[in-house]
Amino acid sequence: MISIALSKGRILDDTLPLIKAAGIVASEHPDDSRKLIIGTSRADVRLIIVRATDVPTYVQYGAADLGVAGGDVLAEHGGEGLYQPLDLGIARCRLMVAVRDGFDYEHAVRQGARLRVATKYLNTAREHFAAKGVHVDLIKLYGSMELAPLTGLADAIVDLVSTGSTLKANHLVAVEEITQISARLVVNQAAYKLKRAVIQSLLEAVAGAVRGV
């Protein structure tokens, strides 16, 4: 049996067509089902529906053989025990630093001011600001980062931006790009060795779907 960990939401929507092209069709749409384990058109493949941030954990411990996770989640997790053989090119966005419209970020950085930065990406943010030599106090949030600069919780946020409309609606502006993000297929390293033939053929089929062939 091969288990694939997927999260609901945008990654799922973009992943289902890719695995379908690889011959794997979910027997129920995860959005319409309360089931957390969903069978597929292939008797030897099942889908496990987990929180986006939990995908690397399921795959790392081998509770799922494969998974699809955003580059943001993987960077924050650290990727231990995971192969990352395939960039799926889906759920694309950018990890950015953003501030309230009118806040002079460049000036604050030049002055060597200690910035308060709210984010759910503590590790990634810590590395980014350390590399720039900017002193920051990081505040961990679990969602709605955009609220932090508006309420005085933080000077800046580190968050994902795709269309930019959430920033705009909240009078925030992006001032720095940390990295471009897309979702990747990840594989448990031990499973890759033990179930090599079946996982390899699955990877090739998904890679073909990504290339559009």
Under the binding rule (CB under 6 A), the answer on residue 115 touching ligand PRT is: no
Q: Give min distance, CB of 26 to ligand PRT, in A.
A: 17
Establish if 154 lies at the interface with ligand PRT (CB under 6 A).
no
Q: Which of residues 118-147 bind ligand PRT (CB under 6 A)?
A: none
Does residue 171 touch ligand PRT according to CB under 6 A?
A: no
Q: At what angle do helices 10-21 and 196-211 cross, to 10 degrees?
A: 110
**Residue 151 binds ligand PRT, judged by CB under 6 A:** no
Question: According to CB under 6 A, which residues from 68 to 87 bind ligand PRT?
Answer: 70, 72-73
Helices (H), 87-181: 105-110, 122-132, 147-151, 165-169
- Which value, in Å, is the radius of gyration of the alpha carbons in the chain? 19
For 14, list phi and psi in degrees, rounded to 5.
-85, -20
The yes or no reply on residue 166 touching ligand PRT (CB under 6 A) is yes
Strand partners, 93: 181
Q: Which residues contact 49 (CB under 8 A, 6 or more apart)?
A: 6, 7, 8, 12, 30, 35, 36, 37, 38
Using the rule CB under 6 A, is 161 a contact of ligand PRT? yes
| DSSP 8-state code for residue 40 | B
Decide: is 91 part of the binding site for ligand PRT (CB under 6 A): yes
Site for ligand PRT (CB under 6 A): which residue of 38, 139, 153, 160? Answer: 160
Q: If binding is defined by CB under 6 A, does position 181 make contact with ligand PRT? A: yes
Can residue 10 be called a binding residue for ligand PRT (CB under 6 A)?
Answer: yes
Number of residues that bind ligand PRT (CB under 6 A): 21
Q: Contact, 173 vs 167, CB < 8 A?
A: yes
> Nearest distance from residue 98's CB to ligand PRT, in Å?
10
Q: What is the nearest approach in angstroms of ligand PRT to the Cβ of residue 55? A: 9
